[in-house]
Amino acid sequence: MASPNRKTILLDFEKPLAELESRIDQIRQLAEENSVDVSDQIHQLEARATQLRQEIFSTLSPSQRLQLARHPRRPSTLDYIQAMSEEWIELHGDRSGSDDPALVGGIGRLAGQPVVILGHQKGRDTKDNVARNFGMAAPGGYRKAMRLMEHANHFGMPIITFIDTPGAWAGVDAEKLGQGEAIAYNLREMFRLDVPIICTVIGEGGSGGALGIGVGERLLMLEHSVYTVASPEACAAILWKDASKAAQAAQALKITATDLKELGIIDRIVPEPEGGAHANPIKAAEQLKQALLECLEELMSLSNQQRREMRYQKFRQMGIFAEELA
């Protein structure tokens, strides 16, 4: 997983930081060419850059976090698998004539523990995105995921899922092939599996497409990922007939990891490196792996019945509210 060139793809709020870092590089280069000692000035500018980076990424709005979650250079499911697993064998097909490239999965080892890992897979460029259908899985993708989870359950291997999709594919063909049924079947069946299930939102968790592989005892979110019932653009178009109000919708939807942790939807926020996961993919993978191993150790100590009950109660408690008398 190579480090991306951050100069090629910059979000609006990253530009002041990029300009300062570029200025530091120019001063350092000029100093070397002219044999001038400017180490004190460089240290001051680097300290300012560090401070600016912290200020920017600690005060991001929900819409800015959404931009980070959709960043073209953000690590994908296969990136994390490559960085975290000692062994990896991808498995293909739903055994009904389909092999959806938008949802990948297989068998790997995590710190020596055999696991089944699966998740949505977006492309890195336009051509790859078209081939992967922008991470929007078809019914065959969810059926492939269920086949792999059944395999994990049969052989006693924990299941780890990575969620990163704008939503399930909503095309006419997807509806003809039973998109709703495929996702609903996964939701029901995941509740009965005996093995540990840990789900992580690594980028954009959108609607039923995310839920189709999102039922587990533990739901984690990377710090700058988002999880939502509908995209802010779709929400704005529905509520205000104006997609330009997406930022307002993002604020109201409570899509960030911090909001969802407070609401009890997710269990843990996994910190990202300064500048987001795309700034240092290797470190992001190390931090996610550590979080997964800690959750796995806890869940492996429980009985099958305890894990199923934990899973059930987790989702039963979502949406509880209290009414105040006028």
What CATH number is associated with residue 146?
3.90.226.10
Taking only the tens place, the pLDDT of each residue in 213-258 is 999 999 999 999 999 998 898 899 999 998 889 999 999 999 999 9
Angle (nearest 5°) at CA 158 between 157 and 163: 135
What is the number of domains present in the chain? 2
Same domain, 205 and 248: yes
Residue 270 lies in a domain: yes
Taking only the tens place, the pLDDT of each residue in 292-316 is 999 999 999 999 999 999 999 999 9
Same domain, 237 and 183: yes
Express as a percent the part of the chain with pLDDT over 70. 97
Same domain, 154 and 28: no
Final residue of a domain: which of 59, 77, 94?
59
Same domain, 48 and 80: no
The domain in which residue 183 lies consists of 66-316
In this structure, what is the dihedral angle of CA atoms 78, 82, 87, 92, given to the nearest 10 degrees?
A: 20
Could you tell me where the beta strands, DSSP code E, fall in the chain?
88-90, 103-110, 113-120, 159-165, 197-206, 218-222, 226-228, 268-270
Residue 6 lies in a domain: no
Same domain, 181 and 262: yes
Query: Is the pTM higher than 0.95?
Result: no
Taking only the tens place, the pLDDT of each residue in 101-132 is 999 999 999 999 999 999 999 988 889 999 99
Residue 326 lies in a domain: no
168 touches 209 (CB < 8 A): yes
Rounded Cα distance between 209 and 179, Å, is 10
Residue 170 lies in a domain: yes
Same domain, 55 and 193: no
- Mean per-residue pLDDT of the chain: 89
Same domain, 54 and 73: no
Residue 145 lies in a domain: yes
Rounded Cα distance between 96 and 220, Å, is 31
CA-nearest of 260, 181, 268 to 217 is: 268
Rounded Cα distance between 92 and 148, Å, is 9
* CB-neighbour burial class of residue 262 (10 A; exposed 0-12, middle 13-18, buried 19+): exposed
**Could you give the C-alpha distances from 141 to 31, 87, 138, 179, in angstroms and in order?**
55, 23, 5, 10
Q: Residue 200 forms beta bridges with which residues?
A: 162, 220
Residue 3 lies in a domain: no
> Exposed e or buried b for every residue in 122-145, given b needs 16+ CB within 10 A?
bbeeeeeeeebbbbbbbbbbbbbb
In this structure, what is the dihedral angle of CA atoms 19, 50, 26, 23, given to the nearest 10 degrees?
A: 30
**Could you give the C-alpha distances from 201 to 140, 160, 164, 206, 225, in angstroms and in order?**
21, 11, 6, 10, 6
Same domain, 73 and 54: no
In the prediction, which pLDDT does 8 show?
Answer: 57
Final residue of a domain: which of 59, 79, 95?
59
Same domain, 264 and 176: yes
Q: At what angle do helices 39-58 and 15-33 cross, to 10 degrees?
A: 170
Same domain, 131 and 184: yes
pLDDT: which is higher, 244 or 18: 244
Final residue of a domain: which of 27, 44, 59?
59
Residue 54 lies in a domain: yes
Same domain, 44 and 156: no
Same domain, 140 and 175: yes
Q: Look at the block and give the residue holding tokens 């409570």.
A: 254
Q: 200 pLDDT exceeds 60? A: yes
Q: 32 pLDDT exceeds 90? A: no
- CA-CA-CA-CA torsion sign (320, 321, 322, 326): negative
In the prediction, which pLDDT does 54 show?
Answer: 75
Q: 35 pLDDT exceeds 80? A: no
Rounded Cα distance between 247 and 257, Å, is 16
Residue 322 lies in a domain: no
Q: DSSP 3-state assignment of 210?
A: helix
